[in-house]
Structure 1
C-alpha cells in the first residue's frame, strides 16, 4: 500500500520489504523449509542461496543480440511459472493468484512432491494488457508493444540505490495496478 502514493520514487516501506523482507524469507522461511526437508530424508538446495548463483547485467555477462543481457542462472519467477503458480505480465513480473506484489523463493529437493496443476497455457495468460504498469513506471521502461526494457529500468534502480543505499528498488509496476494483490478476473470472496 505504501508504494502506491508517490509515482516518482519508491516508499521506504517498499524498500525495506524489498531488501530486509527478502533476507527474512531467505534466512528464516527458506532455511526452515530446507531443514524440514533434510529431516525427512531429502537432499535440498536453494539456488538463490547457493554460491554458484550468478546474475548479469550491463557488465561482465553474456551478451544478447543488440545489447547487454539481463539474466541469471536461476529465476524465482520462471520457477514459479514452471511450477504452475502464475504467468508473466508486461513488466516481466510473475502474476500469481495472490497478485504480483510479493516475494518468492524456491528449493530443489530429491523428495517426491506432487506436481501443482498449471491452470494456464500461455506465459502471459494472467496479464490483461491493461497498461496500468506502463503508466506507473517512473522511467517509462515498459510499453504495451514490447513490455519491459531492462536498461532504463536498471538505470532507475541504480538511481534509487544512490538515493537510498544500501536499499534499492522500485516496484511501481507492481502496485496500484489490477494485478497487485490478485490475478485479474478472479472474484473476491469474503471481502478479501
Structure 2
C-alpha cells in the first residue's frame, strides 16, 4: 500500500492541470518525495512541549489515526533560477508558485484524502481540518496548530535549517503537505543523527548563506526572527509586487535559492551526506 500511495501522489502531481503555470503550462513542482510517520510516534507528543500545547497530535485530528502521510513538492529549476537573480522581491514565477502552487497543494491534500476514503479508510488533511489556525506563541513566535515541517521531519523527509525551513534530499525550495489516515503503514526511518544535521551552519558552523540572502534582516547567527519575516513576506512583499504579479500570496524564498541547500543536502568540507 505504501507503493500505491506514493505512486498516486506522484501521478496526481504529474498529471494535474492545477500544477501548471497558466501562461506556459509548465509545472510548479517536480516529482514529489513521500514519507510516512506513525501517528503514535513520540515526536508528536514532544511537539506539544517544543511548539506548544496548541499543536495537535494526529489522534486529536482523526480518531483512530494510525499514519501521517507526508510529501515534499520541489520547486522546479526554472522557478528557482528566476528567484536566484532577485535580491529584494521574489520573482514572478516564485510568487505564482507560492500562491497558485499552494492552491494545487491543497487540491492534492483533498484528492489523497478522498482516494483513501474510496478504499475504505478514514483520512483528513490536518491543514484543511476544522480547528486549524495560525497564532503567535510566546515560546516560538508565529506557529500553527499543525506544522507540515514537523510532520515531514517525523516522516524522515529532512531536517531543520537556520531559517527554520526543512532541508530535504531535494533541498530546501519546496512546499509540504500531509494527510492523516487510520490505515496502518510502516514508517519511513529517520536516518539523520539529529534534527538539524542537514544544515551546514548547525552541523559544522559553516555557510550561513541564507543570512545574506534575507532582504528583511530576519536571519542571523542566532536564528530566524519569525515576526520580522512575517511582516516582510505577508506585508511588504505583497504590497510591492502582489498587484503586478496578480497574486495575493507572494512568498519570498530568497533564503531558499542561491544557497548550498537549494537542491540537496550539502556535503560540507568534502564530507559525504547520508
The alignment's TM-score, normalised by the length of structure 1, stands at 0.87
**SS class of match (2:238):** helix
User: What CA RMSD, in Å, does the superposition of the two structures yield over aligned residues?
Assistant: 1.8
Aligned pairs for 1:14-163 (under 5 A) are 14-27=94-107, 29-57=108-136, 62=137, 64=138, 69-129=141-201, 130-144=207-221, 146-157=222-233, 158-163=235-240
Most deviating of 94-103 and 150-159: 150-159
The structure with the largest helix share of the pair is 2
Runs of 4+ in 1 over 3 A off after TM superposition: none
Residues 1:168 and 2:250 are matched in the alignment: yes
Shift in Å, 1:50: 1.3
1:22-62 per-residue CA deviation (whole Å, 9 max, x = no partner) reads 101211x22221122112221101011113110014xxxx4
The count of corresponding residues between Structure 1 and Structure 2 is 179
Name the residue aligned to 1:4. Answer: 84
Structure 2: 5+ residue runs without aligned partners? Answer: 1-80, 202-206
1:129-169 per-residue CA deviation (whole Å, 9 max, x = no partner) reads 1111011111111112x111112111211101212151331
**SS class of match (2:159):** strand
Shift in Å, 1:81: 0.6
CA–CA separation in structure 2 for the residues paired with 1:154 and 1:104: 18
The alignment's TM-score, normalised by the length of structure 2, stands at 0.62
CA–CA separation in structure 2 for the residues paired with 1:155 and 1:71: 14
1:54-85 per-residue CA deviation (whole Å, 9 max, x = no partner) reads 0014xxxx4x16xx831110010010011111
Name the residue aligned to 1:190. Answer: none
